[in-house]
A and B are shown apart, each in its own frame.
Chain A
C-alpha cells in the first residue's frame, strides 16, 4: 500500500482512472455492496413469497401462544399452558445452567490435569497425556451418547440406588441431592454474603495500596476466606438457624410400585443433565489442560531461577512469579474454551435435554417459524460470544498496562 502513497505524493502520475488505486478500491467496494444488496433482495423476496405460500405469518406474535408441551427440567415454574416465549426462556436458562456447571468442573479438571501433565512423576504424566489425547480425539457427540446411553443406563433401576456418603444418590432417574430449605430470616445470610464480598474487595484494595506504599504484605487470602465464610455463618446463627437440608426420601418398604425416591423431596438432577455436563466438562477439560500446560511452560525457566536467587521459596515463587505470568498466557484461550463449551452445550438436542436449541427445535416444528427461532438462537449465541470477546479485549488491555 505504501507504493500507492508514494505515487500520489511524488510525481502526479494521472495516467488514467483505471490505474488509480483509490478509484479501483472504491469500485471494488461498490461492486461488493451491489452484489450483497442484490443477494439480500433476492433472499428477502424469495422468503416472503415462500412464507406466503406456506401460510406462515412472520413476526413475533407466536411467542404469546400456548406452548402445549412439557419440559422435563425448568429453573422456574413452567407448565404446558405457558407460552412459547416462556418455553424459550426455560431453554435459555437451562443452557446457562449447563454452561455454568460445565465450566466450573471443566476448569477444575483442566487445571489438575494440566499440572499433572507437567509432573516429574512418569506415571502421573503419562496418565494425563493419555487422558488428553483420548478425550480430544473422540467427537463430543459420541462422548455424550456414551455417558447417556452406555453409562447412565447401566445404573440401578427406579426401585434401587447407589449412594455416596448417604448424601448423593444415583439411579436410573438421575442423581438425588439434599436440598437447602430457606425459612424466614434466611435473606439475612444472603445480605451478609454480599456485605462480606464487598468488604473483602475494599480490604484487598487497601492491602494492595499499603503494599505498594510500604512494602508490607497483608494476609489477604485468609482475611477474604474468613469474611466470606464467617459473616454468613454469624448471620445464620444470629437469625436462629433459618436453613436446613432436606434429604431425599427413599422408600424401601411397602408395595413394590411405591418404592424408590419420593417425588419432589430433595433435588433431582435428571440423567440428561448429568450426561451432558459430564461429557462437556470432561471434553473441555482436555483442552483446558493443554492450555494450562502451554501457559506454565511459556514462563521461561530464568524467571524461576531469578526468584530462587532472590531467596523466594518454591511456594511463593509459584504464587508470585510463575502463576501471574502464566495466567496472562492462559486466560485468553481459556475464555474461548468457555465459549466453546457454551456453544457445544447445544448438542443437548441429541439427548433431548431441554436447552435453548432443543426447546427452540420443538417450537420450530410446532409453529414453523423457522426464521424467528433461528434468529433467536443466533442472537443469543452471538451476544454471548461478543460478550466474551469484549471481556478478552478488556483483559488484554489490562494485562498490557501491567507489562513494561
Chain B
C-alpha cells in the first residue's frame, strides 16, 4: 500500500501552454508567409521593393505634390525645380464637363434626375433580397428608358415645348459613357436571349442564321463595327432618312453586345438540367410558356454574373467611341488637353489618372458584385 504513495496521479488537466511566439500572431504569420525559406525571403524583399517603387512615386505625384486649388495653369506649374504633382484643380474646373459634356447648364437637372432614377431603380434590382423584383425590373427595363429618353433629349408636344430639345452632339463625358453602356446592355438582352434560343433551336435555318450572326459579330473588333455604323449604315438607308450619330453608335454597340450576350445566355441554358425541359413538357407546356415560366427564369438567374461581366466589358469598350468622334468620358478628358488655360506638364497624367480612377471604381465595383452574386447563386446548384 505504501508503494502507491510513490505515484503521482494528475487529477486535473495540465494548464494549456501558449503556442510558441514564433508560430502565432504577427510574427508567426510573417514567418509562415514571408520568410519560410531563403528563396521566399528573397521574393519578399523583391516584392516589397517593387511595391515601394510603384506606390511611393504615385503617392508623391497624386497626393504630396498635388495642387488642389487654383484658377488656371499658374497654380499647377512646377516651381523652383520641383516635379509637378497632379493638378487636381484642373479636374475640379473641368468636372462638370467630364460628367455632363457640353449639356446646357440650365438643363443639367434633367441629367441629374436620370442619374438619380437610375440609381434608385438599379439598387433594389441588384439587391438580392429586395422585394417587388418583377415590378422593379419592368420599371427599370421598360419605363425608365422611355422616361430617360424624353428627359435627356427633350419633349415637345404639339408645338409647346415642355422640355427644350438638347442635341446629342452636346452630350458628353460620363453621360455618354453610361448611355451607351446601359442602352447597349439593356437592348442587347432580349436580342441575345432570342439568338441564344435560336442557336439551340432544332430548326436548321433558324439555328444557322443565329450561329452566323453570333460568330460574325464576335469575330470582328468593336472599332470596325463602330466605323461600320458611322460610315456604312447611312448607305443602307433610303435617301433622306438620316440617323442621329449617337443612335448609329448605339445600334452598332447593341448588335455587337447582343452576340456576346447570346453566348452568355446559351451558357445558362445549357446549365439547366434536361429534366426541367422534360418536366415542363410533361406538364403540357408549349415552347414559349416552357421558356418563360421554367427555363429562362432559372437560366437568367444563373448568368447574372456573366451579364455583369459583359457589361463591364462594354463599359470599358465605350471609350472606343472617341475614335468615331464622340465625346465619352475619355474623349472629353482627351479634348480638354487642348485648352491652354490648364496646359501644364502634369495635365495629361492628371487627366488619365482621373479617368482611370473613375473607370476602376465602376468596373471593380461591378466585378465585386458579380463575384458576390456568383457565391450567392452557387449554393443552389452545387452538387
Contacts and interface: CB of A to CB of B under 8 A. Distances in A.
A377 interface: yes
Contacts of A47: 235-236
Contacts of B234: 50
B231 A123 contact: no
Nearest to A133: B364
A134 B360 contact: yes
B334 A145 contact: yes
Contacts of A389: 215
Nearest to A153: B348
Given A25-B203, A134-B360, A346 B223 contact: yes
A1 B359 contact: no
Interface string A37-72: 000000100110111010000000000000000000
Contacts of B33: 120-122
Nearest to A356: B224
Given A133-B364, A346-B221, A386-B219, A123 B319 contact: no
Interface in B247-282: 278, 281
A343 B223 CA distance: 9
A123 B44 contact: yes
Contact of B323 (A1, A350, A377, A386): A350
A138 B312 CA distance: 10
B206 A142 contact: no
Contacts, number: 153
B345 to A, nearest CB: 9
Given A25-B203, A123-B43, A381 B220 contact: yes
Interface stretch (A27-35, A166-174, A244-252): A27-35
Nearest to A119: B43
A191 interface: no
Contacts of B323: 347, 349-350
A391 interface: no
A139 B356 CA distance: 8
Nearest to A56: B235
Residue of A53, A141, A364 most packed against chain B (CB within 10 A): A141
Grouping DSSP codes into helix (H, G, I), strand (E, B) and loop, the B interface class, with mixed when no group exceeds half, is: helix
Contacts of A141: 319-320, 322, 330
A261 to B, nearest CB: 25
Nearest to A383: B219
Interface residues of A, number: 57
Contact of A361 (B204, B227, B317, B334): B227
Nearest to B30: A122
B349 A381 contact: no
Contacts of B317: 139
Interface string B176-220: 000000000000000000000000001111100100000110111
B343 to A, nearest CB: 13
A127 B50 contact: yes
A150 interface: yes
Contacts of B162: none
Given A133-B364, A349-B323, A370-B235, A32 B209 contact: yes
Contact of A382 (B36, B50, B216, B228): B216
B236 A46 contact: yes
Residue of B202, B223, B239, B317 most packed against chain A (CB within 10 A): B223
B52 to A, nearest CB: 11
B369 to A, nearest CB: 13
A117 B50 CA distance: 15
Interface string B331-367: 0001000000000000011001001100110011001
Given A2-B281, A347-B320, A378-B224, A123 B203 contact: no
Given A121-B34, A127-B50, A377 B205 contact: no
Interface in A174-202: none
A80 B40 CA distance: 57
A19 to B, nearest CB: 10
Contact of B359 (A50, A142, A381, A384): A142
A145 B209 contact: no
B319 A32 contact: no
Given A46-B235, A364-B231, A378-B220, A139 B47 contact: no
Contacts of A3: 281
Contact of A142 (B204, B223, B356): B356
A123 B51 contact: yes
Contact of B348 (A25, A121, A150): A150
B51 A139 contact: no
Contacts of A371: 232, 235
Contacts of A119: 43
B238 interface: yes
A385 B206 contact: no
Contacts of B352: 142, 145-146, 149-150
Contacts of A25: 202-203
A36 interface: yes
B113 interface: no
A136 B368 CA distance: 13
B81 to A, nearest CB: 17
Given A123-B34, A378-B220, A139 B235 contact: no
Interface string A368-381: 00110010011001
B301 interface: no
30 contacts: A28-B206, A47-B235, A50-B234, A51-B235, A53-B239, A123-B47, A123-B51, A124-B44, A134-B360, A137-B359, A137-B363, A139-B317, A139-B359, A140-B316, A142-B330, A145-B352, A343-B222, A344-B221, A346-B221, A347-B323, A349-B223, A371-B232, A374-B224, A374-B227, A377-B224, A377-B227, A378-B220, A381-B219, A381-B224, A382-B220
Given A139-B317, A343-B222, A377-B227, 6 more contacts: A25-B203, A29-B204, A53-B239, A123-B34, A123-B48, A344-B221
Ordered nearest first, which 6 A-B pairs have the shortest CB separation?
Answer: A123-B47, A385-B219, A137-B363, A343-B221, A139-B316, A29-B205
Interface of A: 1-3, 25, 28-29, 32-33, 36, 43, 46-47, 49-51, 53, 119-124, 127, 133-134, 136-142, 145-146, 149-150, 153, 343-344, 346-347, 349-350, 357, 361, 364, 370-371, 374, 377-378, 381-382, 384-386, 389
Interface of B: 33-34, 36, 40, 43-44, 47-48, 50-51, 202-206, 209, 215-216, 218-224, 227-228, 231-232, 234-239, 278, 281, 312, 316-317, 319-320, 322-323, 330, 334, 348-349, 352, 355-356, 359-360, 363-364, 367
